[in-house]
A and B are shown apart, each in its own frame.
Chain A
Amino acid sequence: MGQGRRMKRKQGMPEALSEEHFANLKRKAGLPVEPPVEKASLSNKKRKTAKGAAAAKKPEPAPKKSSAKKSNGKAKKLPEPAEDSEDEEMGDEFDLDQLEDDGSADEDASSGGKMKKIWSDDENDSDDDAEEDDSVFDSDDQEEGGKKGKFVFSDDEDESDAEEKLTAANIAGLSRRLDKKLAEDKAITETEMQESAMQTNIDGPKIFGEEDDEDDELADKSKSLLAPDLQLLRQRITDTIRVLDEFAKLAEDGRSRAEYTAQLLKDICAYYGYSPYLAEKLFNLFTPREAFAFFEANEMPRPVVIRTNTLRTHRRDLAQALINRGVTLEPVGKWSKVGLQIFEANVPLGATPEYLAGHYIIQAAASFLPVMALSPQPNERVLDMASAPGGKTTYCSAMMNNTGMVFANDPNKQRAKGLIGNVARLGVRNVIVCSYDGREFPRVMGGFDRVLLDAPCSGTGVISKDPSVKTNKDEKDFISLPHMQKQLLLSAIDSVNHASETGGFLVYSTCSVTIEENESVVAYALSRRPNVRLVDAGIPFGKEGFTSYMGKRFHPSLKLTRRFYPHAHNIDGFYVAKFQKIGPTPPNAIGAAGKKNGNAAASGDEEVIDKTPITTDEDTETEDKSAKKKSKGKAGTEKSDFSAFDEDEDVKYIEKAKKNAMRRRGLDPKSLKKPKAQEKK
């Protein structure tokens, strides 16, 4: 029984592990891990070879088609090469199915399953035939293209009839045209009949493939009335992807890439259950083939990973203890010294004595990454802006060896409870848990050596964990979430102490893969805060962030950010960007709340209210002079603001400030001038 589950996890292995090593492990010996995998890979190979064969056959039909057009001028039948190959492949696919799970065809819808079986048998026959009298068949085909039409008609009887006729045609070479016409007519009637019978059987027409209208109908129908025929849908997805891969070669005439893409998206929505909006958004991030891999990977669970609590134990000891409890595990990869990947556990991992004693925490491999990028040092002051459930916070503390302090903030008090639980269980002593809105942060406390912002996001990277994302995210979410993320990122930047000796770093991460929540947010921060720059995150793997996407151009330094994908790295989809703050935030920068920072001090049109204590004129003057001298003396070292001090200008400001002060006290500011005037008189 365990095998099936193992298999699932097997597929979820990360690249860092070599299969051989895993297989060689003693504790794995005797467990039937390998054979099924081999089988799977074999079948894959087969599939591939089948495809290859189909592809090899591909070039042939093209000239035929043209010749067909030439010869009979009847374009309405249109034996499409893509369809042809699809048919053939379909046969292979079903063969495979039969090989793999002989009797399991009863899983299919009864009628559809029957249909398929018949169909595959037929296809076998035809294949055999084709192999037997290959030369005849081929030559025949090439001689007269119209004959090719018979493959299009997926109907079985028709097919066999056609074959008989084919042989007949070979024998009686002269009556070809007549036969052909007959065949065509018959085929047309057949298809019509089929279409009329479509209500009862949705398999047949679907094989015809790429006619948009029909497909639409079918897709809708399958959505509304019946469960969609996943096998066929999937087949069509792979076919469309293949066409898109080699568009020049495989595409039908008169069909644009956009049509294919639209079709593919529609299929993906139907097959995986995404909302069209999200599917398109995700699809546009990748090449079609990669996108397919991504969607596939989202259906597979990611491996369970635990993180050793180095405050309490060592990874080796923990691994030994868990192995003794019947857990099969492995180091998660070379990139982490604290991660253990769980393959199989006979005990609940969240209730072992080791867990309760705080020796480990169950934490996705992806959430190691932002902390690794942050790499907090001992005795620093760190802020984790959205910290629940505490995996990253406790990792920070472990890296700092319980020195310094970590402010763990989470706006949601209910979630913060779990955070406190984890902090206490893992024996972390340097954490202060607070519950603020992250945007309030530089006001609550600033001057952190490092800030970690794992922003709340749409979760498009963790669809395997939470499939509800597929449908419940729409345009609004992709406007409001980035908006909040931008605010959070700005306040995070403002909370960092740029003058920190050891730090001055900020890590922004999301568990989402969309551009809106990642590159756009980072680019926004770069544009609003000239005092930060991106630095290398120090993670040995991952893909570079986008520097241009669909016409948007980002700063070239966005290359330094890292993207992680479930299909490429077998961890949750993730994004990590590491900033370094190199100067103070300018006082007139746009604040997180959208207001200007620094009250009214900087804005030009508002009244300037100077809050420095006002001394007597002489004093200020002497001070000014001394300041001037100083500034002149230190011209090189001091800030440029002080180097050119205009005394006359200053007098104006002093006057103004005095007036303001008067006004604030409720006095008449004009009374200031009067005594002076009197003096003058």
Chain B
Amino acid sequence: MRPLTEEETQAVFKKLAEYTGASLKNIIAPQEDGDRNVFRLSQNRVYVVRLSMANLATSIARDNLLSLGTCLGKFTKSGKFRIHITALPILAEHARHKLWIRPNGVMPFLYGGNIVKAHVGRFSEDCPEHQGLVVYTMDDVPLGFGVSARSTAESRRLDPTGVVCFRQADCGEYLRDEDTLFQSG
């Protein structure tokens, strides 16, 4: 376990900023109790964790440390950062653009489908094209995140079967990808 290098930090922050926009700094801002969140890399996976926890976790040997705090995603072998569904709580907290889907669209999304216009309940107003957005149900339960296929204005003119948002991660992955999603040591 180690802090991120400069390049790694850039890659991670760039990815996060797609979803959170300027409120990215809220993630790393000091908290009321004097603690703050730090980023740690352990076996290619990036974790967001309170500093006090990260310090204690140093006593765990590398081979035995399987997870700490919240996993954001992992670095691929080619050095790209891939964000995982486990980052959802953090993204949902600080999301800039949001998309709410109707109850009939929930299951298709959870099975890994893209979001068609017929399933969209609400949509953030000013979302441009190819911008990361967090997907919620109508009662504000975060389900996953994706990338907008059209800007908000364009998507209004779309027919009901047109794709509004490309899925990137959804909660269904906890079941579908359980084997690959988590570190197994």
Q: Say if the beta carbon of B22 comes within 8 Å of chain A.
A: no
- Contact residues of A between 131 and 147, Cβ < 8 Å to B: none
B158 at the interface (CB under 8 A from A): no
| B 135-173 contacts with A by CB, 8 A | 137, 141-143, 171-172
Chain B CB count within 10 A is highest, among A351, A359, A417, A427, for A417
Is there contact, CB below 8 Å, between A432 and B185? no
Q: Is the CB of B89 within 8 A of A435?
A: no
Chain B residues lying within 8 Å of A420, measured Cβ to Cβ, are 66-67, 182-183
Q: Which residues of A contact B68 (CB under 8 A)?
A: 431-433
Query: In the bound complex, what is the Cα–Cα distance between A381 and B185 (angstroms)?
Result: 24
Docked complex Cα distance between A429 and B89 (Å): 9
Residue of A nearest to B180 (CB): A417
Stretch from B3-11, B12-20, B53-61 that touches the partner: B53-61
**Number of B residues whose C-beta is below 8 Å from A?**
38
A459 to chain B, nearest CB (A): 24
How long is the Cα–Cα vector from A622 to B72 in the complex, in angstroms? 58
Distance in angstroms between the alpha carbons of A436 and B65 in the assembled complex: 9
Known contacts A424-B182, A445-B56, A356 near B174 by CB under 8 Å: yes
Do B56 and A425 touch (CB < 8 A)? no
Q: Which of B67, B137, B178, B182 contacts A432 (CB 8 A)?
A: B67
Using Cβ atoms and an 8 Å threshold, which residues of chain A touch B172?
356
Cβ of A358: which chain B residues have Cβ within 8 Å of it? 171
- With A421-B182, A435-B64, A436-B64 in contact, is A353–B53 under 8 Å at CB? no
B76 at the interface (CB under 8 A from A): no
Q: Is the CB of A432 within 8 A of B65?
A: yes
Near A by CB (< 8 A), chain B positions 28-64 give 49-50, 52-53, 56-57, 59-61, 64
- Contact of B184 with A by CB under 8 A: yes
How far does the alpha carbon of A418 sit from the alpha carbon of B143 in the complex, in Å? 20
Q: A351-B175, A353-B110, A356-B171 are in contact. Are A429 and B142 (CB under 8 A)?
A: no
Inside 8 A of A435's CB, which chain B residues have their CB?
Answer: 64, 66, 185
Cβ A357 vs Cβ B142 within 8 A: yes
CB distance from B38 to the nearest CB of A (A): 13
Q: Judge whether B185 and A413 touch: CB under 8 Å.
A: yes
A465 to chain B, nearest CB (A): 21
B86 x A424 contact (CB < 8 A): yes
Chain A residues with CB under 8 Å of B56's CB are 381, 405, 432, 445
- The reply to whether A353 and B185 contact each other, CB–CB distance below 8 Å, is no
Contacts of B50 in A (CB 8 A): 405, 429-430
Assess whether B67 is in contact with A431, with CB atoms less than 8 Å apart: yes
Residues in A whose Cβ lies below 8 Å from that of B107: 353
Contact B178 A421 (CB under 8 A): yes
Q: Which residues of B contact A357 (CB under 8 A)?
A: 137, 141-143, 171
For window 400-442 of A, CB contacts with B under 8 Å fall at: 405, 413-414, 416-418, 420-421, 423-425, 427, 429-436
Contact across chains for B60 and A421 when beta carbons are under 8 A apart: no
- Among B57, B89, B175, B178, the residue within 8 A (CB) of A427 is B89
Q: How far is the CB of B55 from chain A (nearest CB, A)?
A: 10
The residues in B between 77 and 106 inclusive whose CB is less than 8 angstroms from any CB of A are 85-86, 89, 106
- Once the chains bind, are A356 and B70 in contact (CB under 8 Å)? no
A677 is an interface residue with CB less than 8 A from chain B: no
User: Which of these, B57, B67, B141, B178, contacts A353 with CB under 8 Å?
Assistant: B141
B24 at the interface (CB under 8 A from A): no
Query: A350, A417, A430, A444: which contacts B182 (Cβ < 8 A)?
Result: A417
- State whether B66 touches A445 (Cβ < 8 A): no
Report A583-596 CB contacts with B as 1/0, cut-off 8 Å.
Answer: 00000000000000
Of chain A, the residue at the smallest CB distance from B92 is: A427
B47 to chain A, nearest CB (A): 10
What's the least CB distance linking A141 to chain B, in Å?
70
Decide if A433 touches B66 in the complex (CB within 8 Å): yes
Give bound CA distance, A444 to B106, whole Å: 44
Q: Given the complex, which residues of A lie within 8 Å of B183, measured CB to CB?
A: 420
* Closest CB in chain A relative to B11 CB, distance in Å: 21
Contact among A359, A425, A429 for B69, CB-based, below 8 A: A429
B65 and A413 contacting across the interface, CB-CB below 8 Å: no
* 0/1 interface trace, chain B 112-123, chain A, CB 8 Å (1 if under): 000000000000
Q: How large is the interface on A (under 10, 10 to 19, 20 to 34, 35 or more residues)?
A: 20 to 34
B66 touches A424 (CB 8 A): no
Closest chain B CB from A422 CB (angstroms) = 9
With A357-B143, A421-B178, A421-B182 in contact, do A432 and B60 touch (Cβ < 8 Å)? yes
Q: Chain B residues near A421 (CB, 8 Å)? A: 174, 178, 181-182
Known: A353-B137, A435-B185. A413 touches B66 (CB 8 A): yes
Knowing A353-B143, A420-B66, A424-B86, the reply to whether A405 touches B53 (Cβ < 8 A) is: yes
A429 contact set on B, CB distance < 8 A: 49-50, 69-70, 89
B residues near A351, Cβ cutoff 8 Å: 175
CA–CA, A353 and B143, complex, Å = 8
Cβ-defined contact, A413 with B184, below 8 A = yes
Closest residue on chain A to residue B68 by CB atoms:
A432
B179 contacts the other chain (Cβ, under 8 Å)? yes
A126 to B184, CA, bound (A): 71
B53 to A430, Cβ gap below 8 A?
yes
Partner of B60, one of A356, A414, A444: A444
Q: How far is the CB of A493 from the nearest CB of chain B, in Å? A: 19
Q: Are A432 and B53 in contact (CB under 8 A)?
A: yes
Chain A CB within 10 Å — which of B53, B143, B181 has the most?
B53
Mask of A561-600 contacts with B, CB within 8 angstroms, 1/0: 0000000000000000000000000000000000000000
Most buried by B among A354, A413, A435: A435
In the docked arrangement, what's the CA distance between A118 and B21, Å? 84
A417 to chain B: which residues have CB within 8 Å? 178-179, 182, 184
With both beta carbons as reference points, the residue of chain A lying nearest to B141 in the complex is identified as: A357
Among A354, A358, A420, A436: residue with most chain B CB under 10 A: A420
Complex CA distance for A361 and B46, rounded to whole angstroms: 26
Q: How far is the CB of B168 from chain A (nearest CB, A)?
A: 16
Most chain B CB neighbours (cut-off 10 Å) among A350, A356, A436: A356
Bound Cα distance from A357 to B140, whole angstroms: 11
In the assembled complex, B134 has its CB within 8 A of some CB on chain A: no
Within the complex, the shortest CB–CB distance from B16 to chain A, in Å, comes to 16
Q: How far is the CA of A510 from the CA of B41 in the complex (A)?
A: 36
Contact present for B175 and A433 (CB under 8 Å): no
Give every chain B residue within 8 A of A353 (Cβ-Cβ). Answer: 106-107, 110, 137, 141, 143, 171
* Centre residue among A417, A421, A432, A433 by max chain B CB count within 10 A: A432
24 A-B contacts (beta carbon < 8 Å): A353-B107, A353-B110, A356-B143, A356-B172, A405-B52, A413-B66, A413-B184, A416-B185, A420-B67, A421-B178, A421-B182, A423-B67, A424-B86, A424-B181, A424-B182, A425-B171, A429-B49, A429-B50, A429-B89, A432-B56, A433-B67, A434-B60, A434-B65, A434-B66
New A-B contacts (14) at CB < 8 Å, excluding given A420-B183, A421-B178, A432-B56: A353-B143, A356-B110, A357-B141, A357-B142, A381-B56, A405-B50, A420-B66, A424-B182, A425-B174, A427-B89, A431-B68, A436-B64, A445-B59, A445-B60
Instruction: Give me the 4 closest cross-chain CB pairs, A-B, nearest first.
Output: A356-B171, A433-B67, A413-B185, A420-B182
